[in-house]
Each structure stands twice: as structure tokens, then as C-alpha cells.
Chains A and B, each alone.
Chain A
Amino acid sequence: MNSKRSTEILVGLFVAAGIAALFVLAMKVSNLGDFTDDKGYEVVANFQNIGGLKPRSPVTMAGVRVGRVTSISLDPDTYDAKVTINIYRQYDNIPVDTSASIFTAGLLGEQYISLSPGADDFYLEDGDVIDLTQPAVVLEQVIGQFLYSTAEGD
């Protein structure tokens, strides 16, 4: 009977360890932790070109993560990319004239949105649009321009 008891305890520990591992994967490793955050508020930014930006890409301000991209679609009238951003609730004092740029982490790393704050007294609210945007730098275009300008210079 005693050995039966220890078997059951060990099995219990095993199952608990497995579930704990899954929990760690969920919370520490994956972005599931994000979903459990407070919903925050959503603003929209229109970009001429988003490069490799994807849903769930980070949104930062001064390098600190303040939100993430929730969805990306194409505006049928202006042919701009319409990027919806979720900003965490605690950052509720971002000025309305803030500008958004798409940068790349490292030379070939992932792309993210960086916000640089403006000076307005009004703050962004749910549903607002960020007007000042700077498109992603597309490496091919930069190289193309560089080659073109060197050719001109000759």
C-alpha cells in the first residue's frame, strides 16, 4: 500500500511538472502573456510602406515597449497600409502629434514601430489616427538609390 502511495505521489508530481512546463511556455516564452494584459486602447497609423511589419510586431517609445501591432490592412482609396496599434493602458499620455516610424532591429532583424512624442497638450485616445508617419526603409530601394546617385556623380 505504501509503494502505491508513493507511485501516486510521483505521478502527481510528474503531471504537475508537465503542466507547469506548459504554463511557463505560455507565459514566459510565448506572447500569451500579452493577451492577458489589460486591453489598452487602439490607434491607427497609415504608412506608405510597411516593409516587413507583421501583426504582433512590437511598438516602442524611446526603446520601451508600449504596445503591439494588432492588424494590418490596405486602405483601398489611398493605397496606404493601415496599421492598427494596441497601446497598453498605462501609457495614456501620448501626445496627438506623435510621429510613428518603422525601423529594423539590427541590420536584418525584425521590424517594429517606434513612436517619437510630440508636444501637444491633447493625448491620443481610442480610435485616433497618427498622422505623422515615416515608411519603412526598404533595403533594395536604398541600395538602388545609392547606385543611381553614384552613377549620376560620374
Chain B
Amino acid sequence: MIEFLRSLGRWGLNTFQRLGRGHMFLVQMMAGMPSLTFRFSLVIQQLFYVGVLSVLIILISGLFVGMVLGLQGYNTLVDFGAEESLGVLVSLSLVRELGPVVTALLFAGRAGSALTAEIGLMKSTEQLSGMEMMAVDPMKRIIAPRFLAGLISMPLLAAIFSAVGIFGAFLIGHGLLGVDDGAFWSQMQAKTDWYEDILNGVIKSIVFGFVVTWIALFEGYDATPTSEGVGRATTRTVVHSAFAILGLDFVLTALMFGDI
């Protein structure tokens, strides 16, 4: 019993220590951001690895999620004779929820884990210490550009996901199931609001991008410098990101769309 309490206490202390380190890391990372204005090419390079390389998976997943939404939505709506509302159903689900959330989950798996592994390996092969001794601050040179790239990429990826998803639903809804295309678009436009729905979705995706990239970079930077440690850090990135995304999604949804 005592042993159990003791390990519980140790676990608690470790958790808080990591939380504290994570936030100190965030502060240092932010402090490194201004120096990027002079080195924007570093950010562009990272936009390639973080953003461009994630486009394919986002395109494919977006298309299929949209097509499934089209099918399922139609099957439900047609019972109420409301299949004209398919456009609204699809656009609202994608723009408010699925776009930001699914993109963030995919982003954590595709880009987040890669970032963690990369930073963790750089640490374990002493590349980060090596840079420090060459008077190059890894926070500014390595971490900050990746963070900014993640922050920029996420909303763009989420927008691509939603747009492709709506297109996929249109393909199924109009092409396969014969929903009137005028009604599909006009109902969607009437019910989807730029501020309420789309901008809130964009805000969500920026928040998710911030959190996922932060977690990924911190886990890499804080990894035990062994191959096992880096492996575990990569897993933690994906798991913690998923928790953070889903938890934050609830909070943000309640703030934005709930009437609380």
C-alpha cells in the first residue's frame, strides 16, 4: 500500500516536472521565433517536410471521408425526404469537426512522429550539442522553424481536407445518388456561415497545429538519447497528440458552437 502511494506520488511529480519542462520549452521556442524573420528559407524547407509531404495522405483521406459522409448522410436524410440537405450536413460536419480533427490526427501521425524521431535522433547523435558548441542555438536553428512550419501547415491542410471532402460528397451525392446539384450547393451556402463555421474551423486547426507540433518537438528534444528512448518518444507524440486534439476539440466546440 505504502509502496503504491509512493509510486503514485513519484508518478505525479514526474508528470508535473515534464509539464513544467514542456512549458519552459515552449517559452524558449517562442523566444527563438523572432530570429526566423531573417532566416525564412529555413521555414520554407520545413514547410516542405511538414506540409508538402503530408498533402497526399490528406487528399486521399479527405476524398474518402467525404464520400463516406455523402453515402451515410444520404441514407439517413432520404428517410425524412430531406436529401437536399446533404450539402449542409457534409459541409458542416467537415468544416466544423472532421476537417480540423481528422487532419490533426493524420498530421500527428505523419508529420508529428517524423519530427519527434528527427529531433530525438539529432539529440542522441550529439548533433544538437555539436551545434551548441558551434555557437548555433538549436532552439533557433532547428526547433523554431519546424514549429512555425507546423503552425502554418495545419490550417492549410485542414482547408484542403474539407474542400476535397465536400467535393467527394458531391461526387457521391450528385453523381451516384442523384441529389440535385443546385439544391446541394445552395442549401450548403445558405447554412454554412463564414464566421461561425469556417473561421471557427480554421481557428481549431491552428490550435491543433500549435499543440501537435509543440508536443512533437518537445518529445523529441526531451527524449532519452537512445534508440529505445526515441522510439518511445515517437509513440508518446502520437498518443499524447491524439488525446490533446480530442480533448481540446471538445473544449473548443463548447466555446464556439455551444450556447453555454
Interface membership of B23, Cβ < 8 A: no
Q: Are B84 and A109 in contact (CB under 8 A)?
A: yes
Q: Are A8 and B44 in contact (CB under 8 A)?
A: yes
- CB-contacts of B156-206 with A (<8 A): 156-157, 159-160, 162-164, 166, 185-194, 197-198, 202
**Within the assembled complex, what's the spacing in Å between the Cα atoms of A24 and B163?**
7
Contact with B189, one of A8, A11, A33, A110 (Cβ below 8 angstroms): A33
Q: Are A21 and B162 in contact (CB under 8 A)?
A: yes
Interface membership of A10, Cβ < 8 A: yes
Q: Are B48 and A30 in contact (CB under 8 A)?
A: no
Contact with A29, one of B48, B152, B166 (Cβ below 8 angstroms): B166
Q: Are B156 and A7 in contact (CB under 8 A)?
A: no
The count of residues in chain B whose C-beta lies closer than 8 Å to any C-beta of chain A is 38
Interface membership of A65, Cβ < 8 A: yes
Closest CB of chain B to A11's CB: distance in Å? Answer: 5
Interface membership of A74, Cβ < 8 A: no
**Within the assembled complex, what's the spacing in Å between the Cα atoms of A108 and B188?**
16
Contact with B48, one of A7, A24, A28 (Cβ below 8 angstroms): A7
Interface membership of A18, Cβ < 8 A: yes
A interface, how many residues as a size bin?
20 to 34
Interface membership of B212, Cβ < 8 A: no
Interface membership of B142, Cβ < 8 A: no
Given contacts A14-B51, A21-B162, A106-B81, contact A31 B190 (CB under 8 A): yes
Chain B residues near A29 (CB-CB < 8 A): 91, 95, 163, 166, 188-189, 192, 198
**Within the assembled complex, what's the spacing in Å between the Cα atoms of A87 and B152?**
39
Chain A residues near B153 (CB-CB < 8 A): 14
Nearest CB to that of B85 among chain A residues?
A109
Interface membership of B4, Cβ < 8 A: no
Closest CB of chain B to A42's CB: distance in Å? Answer: 19
Closest CB of chain A to B184's CB: distance in Å? Answer: 11
Nearest CB to that of B189 among chain A residues?
A31
**Within the assembled complex, what's the spacing in Å between the Cα atoms of A107 and B79?**
11
Interface membership of A139, Cβ < 8 A: no
Interface membership of B55, Cβ < 8 A: yes
Q: Are A10 and B198 in contact (CB under 8 A)?
A: no
Closest CB of chain A to B28's CB: distance in Å? Answer: 26
Contact with A18, one of B155, B186, B191 (Cβ below 8 angstroms): B155
A-B pairs with beta carbons under 8 Å apart, 24 shown: A7-B44, A11-B48, A14-B47, A14-B51, A15-B152, A17-B160, A18-B155, A18-B159, A21-B156, A22-B156, A22-B202, A24-B163, A28-B189, A30-B91, A30-B197, A31-B189, A31-B190, A31-B192, A35-B194, A68-B190, A106-B81, A106-B84, A108-B82, A110-B190
Given contacts A14-B47, A22-B202, A107-B81, 11 further A-B pairs with CB under 8 A are A14-B51, A15-B152, A22-B159, A25-B159, A25-B198, A29-B192, A30-B91, A31-B192, A56-B193, A110-B190, A110-B191
Which residues of B pack against A, CB within 8 Å? 44-45, 47-48, 51-52, 55, 80-82, 84-85, 91, 95, 152-153, 155-157, 159-160, 162-164, 166, 185-194, 197-198, 202
Instruction: List 6 A-B pairs, minimum CB-CB distance, nearest first.
Output: A18-B156, A32-B194, A21-B159, A21-B163, A30-B194, A22-B159
